A and B are shown apart, each in its own frame.
Chain A
Amino acid sequence: MKNGKAAFTLPGVLADIPTHYCPGCQHGVAQRLVAECLDELALSEKAICIGSIGCSVFIYNYLKVDSVEAPHGRAPAVATGVKRARPEAAVFTYQGDGDLASIGMAETMHCANRGERVTIVFVNNTVYGMTGGQMAPTTMVGQRTTTCPGGRCADNEGEPIKMTEIIASLGGTAYAARVAVDSVKHVRAAKKAVRRAFEAPLNNLGLGFVEILATCPTNWKMTPVQANKRISEELIPYFPLGTYKNLMGEQAAEGTEVEG
Chain B
Amino acid sequence: MMRPVEFREDRCKGCALCMTVCPGEIITMSSRFNTSGYKVVEVRDEVVEECTSCAACALICPDYAVSVWRKPAKAKKGETADVHAG
| Among A2, A184, A225: residue with most chain B CB under 10 A | A184
Beta-carbon contact of B86 and A7 below 8 Å: no
Residues of A within 8 A of B (CB-CB), count: 33
Dominant secondary structure of chain A at its interface with chain B: loop
Beta-carbon contact of A32 and B64 below 8 Å: yes
Q: What B residues does A16 contact at CB under 8 A? A: 64
Contact bitstring B53-64, A, C-beta under 8 A = 1, else 0: 111101111111
Dominant secondary structure of chain B at its interface with chain A: loop
Tell me if A151 is interfacial: C-beta within 8 Å of chain B: no
Query: Which A residue sits closest to B54, measured CB to CB?
Result: A7
Contact bitstring B13-26, A, C-beta under 8 A = 1, else 0: 11111011100000
Q: Which of B3, B13, B21, B62 contacts A29 (CB 8 A)?
A: B62
Beta-carbon contact of B62 and A21 below 8 Å: yes
Q: What A residues does B55 contact at CB under 8 A? A: 7-8
Q: What B residues does A24 contact at CB under 8 A? A: 13, 15-17, 62
- Residue positions of B touching A, CB distance < 8 A: 2-4, 10-11, 13-17, 19-21, 36, 38, 53-56, 58-64, 66-72, 86
Beta-carbon contact of B3 and A23 below 8 Å: no
Q: Which of A167-212 contact B (CB under 8 A)?
A: 181, 183-184, 187-188
Beta-carbon contact of B70 and A4 below 8 Å: yes
CA distance A21 to B61 in the complex (A): 12
- A selection of 30 A-B contacts at a CB cut-off of 8 Å is A1-B4, A1-B69, A2-B67, A2-B69, A4-B69, A4-B70, A4-B72, A6-B69, A7-B58, A7-B68, A7-B69, A8-B58, A8-B59, A18-B10, A18-B63, A19-B62, A19-B63, A23-B14, A23-B38, A24-B15, A24-B16, A24-B62, A29-B60, A29-B62, A184-B56, A184-B60, A187-B60, A188-B59, A217-B15, A223-B16
**9 nearest interchain CB pairs?**
A28-B62, A24-B15, A23-B13, A224-B15, A4-B69, A8-B58, A7-B68, A8-B55, A1-B69
Beta-carbon contact of B17 and A7 below 8 Å: no
CA distance A14 to B14 in the complex (A): 22
How many Å from the CB of A32 to the closest CB on chain B?
A: 7
Q: What B residues does A22 contact at CB under 8 A? A: 13
Q: What B residues does A32 contact at CB under 8 A? A: 64
Beta-carbon contact of B17 and A225 below 8 Å: yes
Query: Which B residue sits closest to A191, measured CB to CB?
Result: B59
CA distance A228 to B36 in the complex (A): 23
Q: What B residues does A217 contact at CB under 8 A? A: 15
Q: What B residues does A5 contact at CB under 8 A? A: 69-70
Q: What B residues does A184 contact at CB under 8 A? A: 21, 56, 59-60
CA distance A3 to B3 in the complex (A): 11
How many Å from the CB of B49 to the closest CB on chain A?
A: 11
